[in-house]
Chain A
Amino acid sequence: MKYIEEFQDPELARRLLDDIHATVTRPWALMEVCGGQTHTIIRHGIDQLLPDQVELIHGPGCPVCVTPLEVIDKALEIASRPDVIFCSFGDMLRVPGSGRDLFQVRSEGGDVRVVYSPLDALRIARQNPAREVVFFGIGFETTAPPNAMTVHQAKKLGIPNFSLLVSHVRVPPAIEAIMTSPSCRVQAFLAAGHVCSVMGMAEYPELAARHRVPIVVTGFEPLDILEGVRRAVRQLERGEHTVDNAYARAVRPEGNPAALAMLEDVFEVTDRAWRGIGVIPDSGWRLSARYRDYDAEHRFSVTDIATQEPAECRSGEVLQGLIKPHECEAFGTTCTPRTPLGATMVSSEGACAAYYLYRRLDLAPAARTAPLEASPVV
């Protein structure tokens, strides 16, 4: 337990760990859905503190990582246009498209701007009425409501030069896809806490019952993860499969009703491709008919871009929990944060980045012999 002193409350951490160790009698595989949770786990060595029988599998919950290559290519195409101001969150800057990234587009003269909030992009649109302003709308159920509100505001205020490049994804269909995969080993889920802050927990009981899988809504601080694991393992050992809220301080069962109403108004459910995974039915949102005028894909005629993903990047398998990052031949060799093959290495929430950043290379025979950069930054 070499890391436990770093916990915010080491004594409580020790009690939770003792309880988990005392409860486990058989091997169990738990998937943490959220990329933030993955980083907490690797950063604090939580997977190493747990009993050997408890395996944590990293899930697809990093919005940057799951954005398909073809959407990145669409973004790069739009951002390169001289009449466009392309606005994005900062963590999309270095996600590789087919040939380059947004950072390079900017260095080549494209007007790419980083915003903190989608409302900042709308403000830029009002200040630049002669230019087209496009916001890169990626993310899960936590990010979709802010983007929905921004499109709603654009329509309400009559701002014609604003549009959204939409690539929003939803967690429950991803859980469904993972559970129905023939190679699935997941026996319990730690659900993403902030997604549930918005969506509530209504979508989960049916999933838990049908797949007989415990789903524990979990935060992403170290103690939250331990508590989520503790509750999941207790259910598994008892043969239960219910939905449990271990993040009650931030998650109400009903979620955020105002955000849910706005989502329903602005978006409609659609099939979505996930990077490295492929199309998952009903797993995303697109703009609903009444907001279709704000769809950047149509406005800039990039709907036909359909890029094939490179075979050497195994991020799709990482995202589905089929392999660990260090099991990829490219990890730490041809793929590093400086020269990423896929988004899981470049995103600050990506599983590959977490393994690289926190030097879990003791687990990676291929990477152990590779030259390491002095201070990888993620």
Chain B
Amino acid sequence: MCLAVPGRVLDIGEKDGTRMATVDFGGVVKEVCLEYLPDLQVGEYAIVHVGFALQRLDEESARQTLELFAQLGMLQEEFGDPWERAATEAGVADWPFADDIAEQPQHAGDARDAGDAVQEAQQQ
């Protein structure tokens, strides 16, 4: 949870009067609040923690960190299925709620326009 992950802004929109973006974390795409970095632009990188962009980061640093996190399996730790992990830790073979786990992350490789995600989010 304490881990903050660098991500690249794909698209920016507004939702309930709040500045939101879709952000790509080395292939995993999440919705991120930009209220604390209101002048962040599409294409820029930021350190993101629990869905909030907290500080700008230069592209080279961000890429290096993402690469390292991917190698170390830390992206899986941050974005993987927490129920599955908890079940494994608890030694429970078949977690009975496997179907209704937290929303799974999207993948940038799904070839979906990132703008769609923001639009969808706005419509919710």
Q: Could you tell me which A residues sit within 8 Å of B by CB distance?
A: 8, 34-36, 43, 61-64, 89-91, 93-94, 103, 106-107, 113-120, 123, 139-140, 142-143, 145-146, 149, 153, 156-157, 194, 197-198, 221, 249-252, 256, 258-259, 262, 337-338, 346, 348-349, 377-378
Contacts and interface: CB of A to CB of B under 8 A. Distances in A.
Contacts of B55: 197-198, 250-252, 256
B47 A250 contact: yes
Contact of B35 (A90, A107, A258, A348): A258
B2 A349 contact: yes
A36 B78 CA distance: 12
B58 A249 contact: yes
Contacts, number: 139
A249 B32 CA distance: 21
Given A194-B54, A348-B77, A90 B85 contact: yes
A139 B67 CA distance: 26
A165 to B, nearest CB: 15
Q: Nearest 10 CB-CB pairs, A to B?
A: A117-B51, A90-B82, A93-B86, A114-B102, A197-B55, A146-B52, A259-B36, A114-B82, A89-B1, A249-B61
A142 B1 CA distance: 10
A348 B58 CA distance: 27
Contacts of B90: 94, 103, 338
Nearest to B16: A157
Majority secondary structure of chain B interface residues (helix, strand, loop or mixed): mixed
A142 B49 contact: yes
Interface string B50-70: 111011011001001101100
Report the contact-size class of chain B (Cβ under 8 Å from the partner): 35 or more
Contacts of B79: 116
A115 B101 CA distance: 10
B83 A194 contact: no
Contacts of A119: 33, 51
B89 A91 contact: no
Contact of A114 (B52, B65, B91, B101): B101
A221 B68 contact: yes
Contact of B89 (A64, A94, A117, A259): A94
Contacts of A146: 33, 49-52
Interface string B1-42: 111100000000000111000000000001111011110000
